[in-house]
Every structure is written in C-alpha cells, then in structure tokens.
Amino acid sequence: MLDGYLPSQIINALKHLSINKLNEIRLRVGNPVVIDYGGLYYLSSVGITDVIGKSIICTKDMIEYTVAQACENSIYAYNDDIKQGYLTIPGGARIGLAGTCVREGPTIKTIKNISSLNIRIPHEVKNCSLKILEFVTEPSIHNTLILSPPGAGKTTLLRDLAFQISQRYLQNILIIDERNEIANTINGIPQYKLGIFCDVMTNCTKKFGLENGIRSMRPDVVMTDEIANASDVQAIHYALGCGVKAIATTHCDSLIALKDKKDFEQLIEKKTFERYILLSTKNGAGTIEGVFDKNFKCLCM
C-alpha cells in the first residue's frame, strides 16, 4: 500500500514488519521516524527499536518526496485536500500534514514548508460491526451516531456497517465520503467492499453531498464520517427531514463530552439519533464501550 509513496529507506525498514499490526507512521523533520505498532516505537533499518540512536531520522527530502508522490506530482489536483491538511493515497492511508499555512485574507491557499506527516494505515476488519448490528438495524434501521476518539476505529466500523446493511437488508446506501477514507475510491471505483447497494460521493462537503445525493440517488440510508461543525449537523438534519436514515460518526470520547459539544445540542435535544455507539482503544482499536439509545440508556456494554 505504501510502496512508491514513502522513501525507499522507510519502505525497506517496513518490510521487516507486518502491515496488519502497523497503525501509524509519523515523520517529523530532524526527528526519528515513529510508528504505532501496537505501541509506539522508533523505526530502524531492521524494524522497530527503542533506541533513538538506531532509528531512521526523517529529513526534509523524505517529507517532500512523500508529499510529491501522494500528490502524483500534481499539487493543483490535490490542493483542496492539502488546504484541509490531509492527502489520501490508494489503499486508503491518510496522510495528515502540518506546516505553514499560506493565507490570502480569511482563506487558506495552501500549506507550505510541510514539516510533519502522520500516515494512518486503515485496516479492513470484516464483520467488525456484527456485534452491534442488531442494535442499529432492529426492528428497523435507526439513525446512529458512532463516537470515538481519533484512531479508535470509527471509519472501519462505519465501512463494515455499510457492507452489512447493504448485503443483509438490501437498502440503498449513499456514502458521503468527504475525505475518501470510507470507500477509498480510485477513478471513482471503491477499493473496499461496500456491498452492492452502496453509492459513493467523494471529495464533496457533507452539505453538498447530502442535499444533492438525496435528490439524485434516492437512498434509504446515508452514511458519513466525522460530523464536526454546525454545517455538518444542518446537513444531517436536512437528510433526516427528507425521510432518510442517517448513520454518522464524530470525534468524541464519552457521552458527556458529546453533550458538551455546542453544535450537537440540537441533535441531542431533538433526539435525532436513536442509537449512540461509543468506541475506545481500551482493548485495541474498535473496542465497543457501549451502545446507547436516544435517551442515553445503555443497551449493551
């Protein structure tokens, strides 16, 4: 998945590791390459190490190479993503970017002098949603919000839910994949198995995707990742107002934290979501902390 996107020194080191256990690679100019391999380690030329002196030190060239490859040497084609601070590469790995934002008035034109990359490796965990499927789909599909801190498996769970609902319940699902992480489409074709009843709109805002997608694709269920602000919440309201079911995710580590989110007040008050699924990394990514109903009553732990 990462071949051709990372410098050969890092690729050669990664050959000593199992990609299935690799969750994250962090490149910071002048610092050791750090990986999440079921714990944080430095990357050395022969695999992982605890000793800084043996680690591979990230250079500016390494970062520039990675960004150029991820952009297919075509900044203009990816600048909208760069402005949002990420790039997605085939295979679904997301590269988070940190550097200097170039501003023009209130808008950001691009990010230059990129000094840190966070490469997150997605894992397709088949049937990971089976444990909670009945709570989401019985007796009928419920509007559901998946909550978890970053890296706890929201997107993986959402992807599998899309597959299961599509295959088992034959529902037309529209996935609004703003960052191309859920489906990882290449030339419009999803690289993950999403089921035969799934349609995917990528690279569009949730507002645009939900408003236009519902009109044009007539879905039974819409799915989207990472609701973050008032505009996203409004888009969800719009979808529900159209009589479509919604399954979404958001960054949040507890129900209390969710209640404190100002943009979500209306959603909670109106009991828009009938199910809340809380994930954590307690026993590894994807640990289900609980399934809750619209009154936050625990249905399953």
Residues within the interface to another protein (CB under 8 A): 71-77, 79, 109-110
Least Å distance between CB 261 and another protein? 33
| Choice between 111 and 147, CB closer to another protein | 111
Q: How far is CA 38 from the centre of its chain?
A: 19
Strand partners, 201: 176
| Choice between 188 and 241, CB closer to another protein | 188
Phi, psi for 188 (deg, rounded to 5): 85, -5
Least Å distance between CB 295 and another protein? 47
| Choice between 45 and 84, CB closer to another protein | 84
| Choice between 56 and 70, CB closer to another protein | 70
Q: Write out the two tokens for 221.
A: 């269920």
Measured at the alpha carbon of residue 113, what is the angle toward residues 95 and 111, in degrees to the nearest 5? 60
| Choice between 50 and 80, CB closer to another protein | 80
| Choice between 73 and 295, CB closer to another protein | 73
Q: Are the C-beta atoms of 219 and 116 separated by less than 8 Å? A: no
Least Å distance between CB 112 and another protein? 11
Least Å distance between CB 196 and another protein? 28
Please name the residues in contact with 53: beta carbons below 8 A apart, sequence gap of 6 or more: none
As a whole number of Å, the CA-based R_g of the chain is: 20
Least Å distance between CB 78 and another protein? 8
Least Å distance between CB 93 and another protein? 18
Any long-range contacts for 50-57 (C-beta under 8 Å, 24+ apart)?
56/9, 56/10, 56/13, 56/32, 57/30, 57/31, 57/32, 57/33
H or E stretch at 97: strand 94-104
